[in-house]
Amino acid sequence: MSGMWLKKKCMTKFTEEIKIGTIYTSDAFSYTQQDVNDFAKISGDNNPIHLDEDYASKSIFKRRIIHGYLGSSVFSKVFATDFPGEGTIYLKQDLKFLKPMFTDVNYTAKFTVLELNAEKHRALVKTEIFNAENSCIVAGEALIQNRKFL
Amino acid sequence: MSGMWLKKKCMTKFTEEIKIGTIYTSDAFSYTQQDVNDFAKISGDNNPIHLDEDYASKSIFKRRIIHGYLGSSVFSKVFATDFPGEGTIYLKQDLKFLKPMFTDVNYTAKFTVLELNAEKHRALVKTEIFNAENSCIVAGEALIQNRKFL
């Protein structure tokens, strides 16, 4: 079975061969305040900077911000469903929260393949979130494994 | 106002002075499959390894696992609410997903202060999740800022 055949059968959006330097850019995405409230409930992280408009208005951010973990979970989503796709196992992720993320704002995530290990089916991938003004909001690197696509 | 006074007024569990080498261990925590399903909805990460019992039973894990982002969000929760507590700003987090996390299993998170920068109110903290058998499940480091407690 070719990789291409597998890709058509499995959950993925990227059907080209993955090489060092390959770039994948996600669709625009955003989160609502309801997403933030729900994430606070699930995680137990009820930091008022994410939930309390009045508290947040007095902070350096001037308004409520999205949990870093929620905002950057787009990396996990894309790895699992789009690029490389189904079957991805997450081994490492580092995150630098450079700027705050806000609700109802469009962001895109960019993935750049830095290293490939075909034998171990692993890739080291630069992971970045950008806003519409092309400012980098979250930066980092991920190590992933996928036995079908890497 | 002393740091101690502030700590009593603000959301925190740790009321001792924070020094290099200080260790904070969280209460035991666990996640339910409902938490995992909810996180999949919010994040869009509907990887079947987290959701589909049948699919997961054929994987190397033999059962459904928790999203790495959800499992390790305990770091964000603790930093924001317990140690050091309210007002924490997350600057960096790196994560090594060493072993899978499962629902309805008790874990604890351990925090060890590695470096302190009083001028910038920052701390570099080793962050680890352990299971009841004391196996390290997630390891990493976080850089945080807190103008009240650091």
Mutate to test the interface with B, among A12, A33, A50, A76 (most CBs of B within 10 A): A76
Residue-wise pLDDT for A108-145, tens only, equals: 999 999 999 999 999 999 999 999 999 999 999 999 99
Confidence of residue A5 (pLDDT cuts 50, 70, 90): very low
The stretch B64-74 carries a mean pLDDT of 96
Confidence of residue A11 (pLDDT cuts 50, 70, 90): low
**Out of B38, B67, B92, whose CB is closest to A76?**
B67
**Out of A11, A77, A96, whose CB is closest to B44?**
A77
From chain A, the residues in CB contact with B29 under 8 A are: 44
At B107, the amino acid letter reads Y
Please report the ipTM that was assigned to this predicted complex. Answer: 0.89
Percent of chain B with pLDDT over 90: 85
C-alpha distance from A45 to closest chain B C-alpha (Å): 4
Residue-wise pLDDT for B120-141, tens only, equals: 999 999 999 999 999 999 999 9
pLDDT, position A150: 87
3-state secondary structure chain A: CCHHHHHHHCCCCCCCCCCCCCEEECCCECCCHHHHHHHHHHHCCCCHHHHCHHHHHCCCCCCCCCCHHHHCHHHHHHHHHCCCCCCCEEEEEEEEECCCCCCCCCEEEEEEEEEEECCCCEEEEEEEEEECCCCEEEEEEEEEECCCCC
Confidence of residue B10 (pLDDT cuts 50, 70, 90): low
DSSP B3: H
From chain A, the residues in CB contact with B73 under 8 A are: 39, 42-43, 45, 67, 69
| B150 compared with B77, residue with greater pLDDT | B77
Mutate to test the interface with A, among B11, B55, B64, B76 (most CBs of A within 10 A): B76
Contact A102, A63 (CB under 8 A): yes
Confidence of residue B1 (pLDDT cuts 50, 70, 90): very low
Contacts of B123 (CB under 8 A, 6+ apart): B18, B84, B113, B114, B115, B116, B117, B143, B144, B146, B150
Residue A76's closest chain B neighbor by CA? B45
pLDDT, position B112: 98
pLDDT, position A6: 45
Residue A94's closest chain B neighbor by CA? B94
Half-sphere exposure of B46 (CA within 13 A, CB side): 5
Domains recognised in chain B with CATH numbers: 5-29+70-145 (3.10.129.10)
Contact A10, A86 (CB under 8 A): yes
pLDDT, position B20: 96
From chain A, the residues in CB contact with B38 under 8 A are: 38, 41-42
CB pairs under 8 A between A and B: 112
Residue A12's closest chain B neighbor by CA? B47
**Does B72 sit within 8 Å of A43, measured CB to CB?**
no
Residue A40's closest chain B neighbor by CA? B77
Query: Does residue B2 have a pLDDT over 90?
Result: no
Residue-wise pLDDT for B16-68, tens only, equals: 889 999 999 999 999 999 999 999 999 999 999 999 999 999 999 999 999 99
Which residues, numbered 55 to 114 in chain B, qualify as contacts with chain A under a Cβ-Cβ cut-off of 8 Å?
Answer: 67-70, 72-74, 76-77, 80-81, 86-88, 90-97
pLDDT, position B91: 97
Q: Is the pTM of this model over 0.80?
A: yes
Residue-wise pLDDT for A48-61, tens only, equals: 999 999 999 999 99
Query: Does residue B3 have a pLDDT over 70?
Result: no
Query: Does residue A2 have a pLDDT over 90?
Result: no
Q: What is the residue-averaged pLDDT of chain A?
A: 91
C-alpha distance from A17 to closest chain B C-alpha (Å): 22
Of the listed ranges A29-33, A97-101, B86-90, B112-116, the least confidently predicted one is: B86-90
